[in-house]
Amino acid sequence: MSAALTSFEPATGELLWQGTASDVATEVARACAAWPRWAAQPIAYRIETLRRFVNVVRANEEALADLIARETGKPLWDARTEVTAVMNKVDISVAAFSERTGQRRLEAAMGARQSVRHKPHGVMAVLGPYNFPAHLPNGHIVPALLAGNAVVFKPSEKTPAVGEMLVRLYHEAGVPEDAVRLVLGGPDEGKALAAHPDVGGILFTGSAQTGIAINRQFAANPGKILALEMGGNNPIVAWDTADVPSAATLIVQSAFLSSGQRCTAASRLIVKDELADTLVGEVKKLADRLIVDHPHADPAPYMGPVIDNQAADQLTESFLYLMSNGGKPIKHMVRTTKGLPFVTPAIIDVTAMAERPDIELFGPLLQVVRVPDFESAIREANNTRYGLSAALIGGSPEQYNQFWANIRAGIVNWNRPTNGASSSAPFGGVGISGNHRPSAYYAADYCAYPVVSVEIEQPRASIGVGLKDIDTSTMGD
């Protein structure tokens, strides 16, 4: 008997969705049977089908945004931006497919032609996160389908309702039902899907712990492609700037947008000593004004709850740990509603901590580190195993060039938030943030593999050296 599954609204605690766990083997088998037919369709057909998907999403735009807001707790305006990103992904993926995996023809010797074309991997497993339950898996699924793969998608067990609706919209648009399959369930179903021998690739977004486990599991199986996006412990460095209010705004956006539940959110503010009191004071004043409320509240909140009480408990415990190990609270993290995962944005100065934990604190918790000079700022920014996103606020063009050249991150911004990544650019990190397979515009790279062919219509060949002479004495008249 399949296990019962439930999803509750973080902001209210009310039951939102019920379902049952999927049979992984059945779903993979259906995708395996479907993908050759889907791959054989002309690329123009696959493009047209996915453009119909955009129209279907547009027709359901408000319903999808409302569901995302209810299931994740993010403000409705934030959920609407996610739905817009889902729709924009198709045209971006079409352009990327043409540019990065398009067909090339070159001249070869003896009048032959040389072709470079790309083939799909087959069945791709997409393991989605809860913070962007539509946009991030869609960022894998659309390019995978364009390339001719079939997809088996397992949404986070914390956001199954959005995953179910997303798959239904693909099917309504005309993507064959067996070309996109849905697996519902928890970690056991995720492990079974990743380990299935008929899955040719795993496209994962989630924690470093899980991503590293996947990487280790398939170390002896290089035939299975892995694209791993595993979060960050992201630094935002604040240096000399005359516009302190704008700098504070960029820091608040980096640390507290989506309740800090973005893999590109700033976890560490590294600030010049002489600037620290003024700037951190401005950041606190702005953070004090942020409205934390349910997704549909009026006035609109800047932040909703975090995903669940377990996440809220971990964040408050992390704040207490930092405080009891040398951290100096600037703005306390407070649970505002009993029994629900609402937390206020928190700021703590950890400069005096002997050992600062190098972990991803997935929520609105900003650590401040004061440094005496720019070289120290860069060293502190790089003092992490992660390497997803980093930003410099203020500073001179020369300092930004130094920052860009020396920082270890896949996204490096200047006077923009750490979470200002675009879907029309590559998205990925180094260290334990990723495995050098960036997504977004570069997703085309891991959804198909290049095949080179040298081709000529008639066989033509000769061997010019290394042959014995023909012995004519044994030949008849």
Active site residues per annotation = 229, 263
Q: Do the Cβ atoms of 352 and 197 come closer than 8 Å?
A: no
In our burial notation (b when 16+ CB lie closer than 10 A, e otherwise), range 143-179 reads: bbbbbbbbbbbbbbbbbbbbbbbbbebbbebebbebb
Cis peptide before 299 (omega within 30 of 0): yes
Cα–Cα distance for residue pair 74/38, rounded to 1 Å: 36
Q: Do the Cβ atoms of 252 and 148 come closer than 8 Å?
A: no
Which is it for strands 426-427 and 439-440: parallel, antiparallel or unpaired? antiparallel
The residue behind tokens 């697996």 is 183
Amino acid at 227: A
Strands (E), 243-319: 266-272
Cα–Cα distance for residue pair 292/250, rounded to 1 Å: 18
Tokens of 227: 């694209």
Q: Computed over its alpha carbons, how large is the radius of gyration of the chain?
A: 26
Other Cβ atoms closer than 10 A to 110: 9
Cα–Cα distance for residue pair 144/228, rounded to 1 Å: 15
Cα–Cα distance for residue pair 433/227, rounded to 1 Å: 11
The residue behind tokens 């766990």 is 21
What are the backbone dihedrals phi and psi of residue 202, each rounded to the nearest 5 degrees, phi first?
Answer: -125, 120
Is residue 362 packed enough to be buried (19+ CB in 10 Å), middle (13-18) or exposed (0-12)? Answer: buried
Tokens of 88: 């924009």
